[in-house]
Amino acid sequence: MKKSMAEKRLIVDMQPIGRRIDVEPGQSILEASRTAGVGLISLCGGEGWCDSCRVRIASGEVNPPSQSEMDTIGEDQIKKGFRLACQVIPVSDVRVDIPPESLSTPQRLQVEGKDFEIPLAPIVRVVDLELSPPTLEDLRADAARVRDALADHGFLESRLELPVLEDLSEGLRKNKWTARFILREGELIAVLPSGVDIFGISVDIGTTKLAIYLVNLLTGEIVEKVGEMNPQIAYGEDIVSRISYATENPEGRQQLQMVLVDVLNTKIQELCTSSGINQDQIVDAVIVGNTAMHHLFTGLPVGQLVFAPYVPALNAPIDFRARDLGIKMAPGSYIHLLPNIAGYVGADHSAVILSTDLWNTKETVIAIDIGTNTEISLVSGGRILSCSCASGPAFEGAHITHGMRAAPGAIERVQIIDEELKIFTIDDQPPVGICGSGILDVVAEMKSANLINEKGAFLEDKRYIRKGKKNNIELLLVPGENAGNQQDITVSRKDVNEIQLAKAAIRAGQDILLKEAGIQPDDIDQVLVAGAFGTYINIANAIKIGMFPEIPLDRFHQVGNAAGMGAIQALLSVEKRNAIEKIIKQVEYIELTTWENFQKVFVRAMYLN
């Protein structure tokens, strides 16, 4: 019996995305979707105690629901066919409907940053050469012939290493000894047909999202940009759970590395296809990410990042050959990672400092890159102070009753005007949940409309406020009949508290940096708010709930993916690359968790003004 099962692989038809995947007997739909590269959200890492991977079994037979499913999603929903993908095991071919909020793609990604102009001076250089072929009178080895010709063109003492040598002899003969040679710091890294363009890629590896840019290195033009989910989400939603996975599983670190490498290769290939170029024409790359992403991508150890004093394995910038990780670019090309600042202030924040010109300003400027971890840098009086705030995933929709990512159908704007509640969803789809900017609006508007007090406590007997099923007080944001999934969308006191915790962390970071610099909020000339979430939020509402200090609105600038822009700058200018390396050494990192009055500052920041 067991044997005949083992031989039969079952098919899971996933809708609406239209993917058909194989399932091994005994494998859960979540496991199968990981293998197949379908991005199902799994906040608890597949342990059945959250409902983020909720799916509906449309047809086919599956195992009976587990107790944790009964507890988590309830009997009513199970009767309607809902199950947790991590718990449900097909016993026949099945068809599964995936609600938008369970699917990690598609969704809106931030790939655009503030415009910038920098001198074009990439690390790679180009030279077109016509070589004389070998004869009995000129028996120089192919490598020596190339080296001599490069020397004639001023590239003295160039190095030719294995990755390029492997194809050099055939390439020279095929191209009849005429080719475009690409050099990087004296090393020949690619040999291309004469006259072709060369490109670089910049990548911002976020904990949840990747932004990938294809850039023409001869013109500086951003040819194309794509976003993609971080495939590591399948192994844990946040950094700590991924580090656990990496350290507790024998091949965990390598697995987390390889899923990143795979998705990068896929994206590179897509970019090449859509731009009509060859992978060999991609001759350089700059990658940024927080310290954990930086380490997991490069294969560095991460265990020490979760134990005090949270030191990185490496802060310094690092270069290695793309092919050392199997990244499909020109054979000899390198990947550059910007320096990290601390265990929780990574290369992505170095990129923010770079692209915002923070390091160059004479003003007092604070840059805030909001995410699951929020990094803040304050420039004041010639000092750069940086810290990291554990703002948590609430603004990504996690830990919020009806929270979701910024996907179609997410409520992204909320207004309460004259006691009338108005919602706006992404792509104007029927509402299915609330994303970060929406929940921030909810809290701000509830406070303005006096539905909650400054501690986040709900005031009863107000319109939209009701008793929930478990006798708790809640805000009814969207009644089930208006919702895309026929369920009431509500906001609980706990949800409001989650937002208070998140914004308090961010505010406490700002307050402590100001104290360290010995200045007042009003001394700040500019507040730069970076990141996808930071770009979409209503700044006035963020001030209203006390996430930012109360200073004039025109001092705030939403600068988009400043990290990605920093990566592009470092790609286009070796001077920028060198500059940030120096700057980072001057950054004063402030560890908040051991800062003397942190707790006091944090509790004060919890108040909704």
Establish if 162 lies at the interface with a second copy (CB under 8 A): yes
Q: Is 537 helix (H, G, I), strand (E, B) or coil?
A: coil
Site string for a second copy, 573-602 (x = CB under 8 A): ----------------x-x--x--------
Q: How far is CA 197 from CA 224, 270, 277, 401, 565, in A?
A: 15, 18, 9, 50, 22
Establish if 156 lies at the interface with a second copy (CB under 8 A): no
Site size toward a second copy (CB under 8 A) is: 44
Site string for a second copy, 270-309 (x = CB under 8 A): ----------------------------xxxx-xx---xx
Site string for a second copy, 529-558 (x = CB under 8 A): ------------------------------
Burial of residue 270 (CB within 10 Å: 0-12, 13-18, 19+) is middle
- Cβ closest to a second copy, residue 9 vs residue 140: 140
Structure tokens at 315: 């802060």
- Cβ closest to a second copy, residue 62 vs residue 203: 203
- Cβ closest to a second copy, residue 43 vs residue 189: 189
Site string for a second copy, 113-152 (x = CB under 8 A): ---------------------xxx--xxxxxx--x-----
Question: Can you spell out the DSSP letters for 265-296?
Answer: HHHHHHHHHHHT--GGGEEEEEEEE-HHHHHH
- Cβ closest to a second copy, residue 102 vs residue 257: 257
Nearest approach, Cβ of residue 441 and a second copy (Å):
38
Instruction: Select from 404, 433, 389, 386 the least CA-distant residue to 587.
Output: 386
Nearest approach, Cβ of residue 191 and a second copy (Å):
12
Establish if 450 lies at the interface with a second copy (CB under 8 A): no
Structure tokens at 491: 């906001």
- Cβ closest to a second copy, residue 451 vs residue 513: 513
- Cβ closest to a second copy, residue 81 vs residue 303: 303
> Which residues, at least 6 apart from 17, have a Cβ–Cβ distance to it below 8 Å?
38, 98, 103
Angstrom distance (rounded) from CA 371 to CA 207: 9
Nearest approach, Cβ of residue 316 and a second copy (Å):
6
Does residue 433 contact residue 489 with C-beta atoms inside 8 Å?
yes
Structure tokens at 602: 């944090």
Nearest approach, Cβ of residue 7 and a second copy (Å):
14
Window 311-350: residues binding a second copy (CB under 8 A): 311-316, 318, 320, 324, 340, 342-343
Angstrom distance (rounded) from CA 96 to CA 37: 16
Angstrom distance (rounded) from CA 360 to CA 575: 14
Angstrom distance (rounded) from CA 586 to CA 258: 34
> Which residues, at least 6 apart from 57, have a Cβ–Cβ distance to it below 8 Å?
81, 83, 88, 94, 95, 96
Nearest approach, Cβ of residue 320 and a second copy (Å):
5
Given the rule CB under 8 A, which residues bind a second copy? 134-136, 139-144, 147, 160-162, 165-170, 173, 298-301, 303-304, 308-316, 318, 320, 324, 340, 342-343, 589, 591, 594
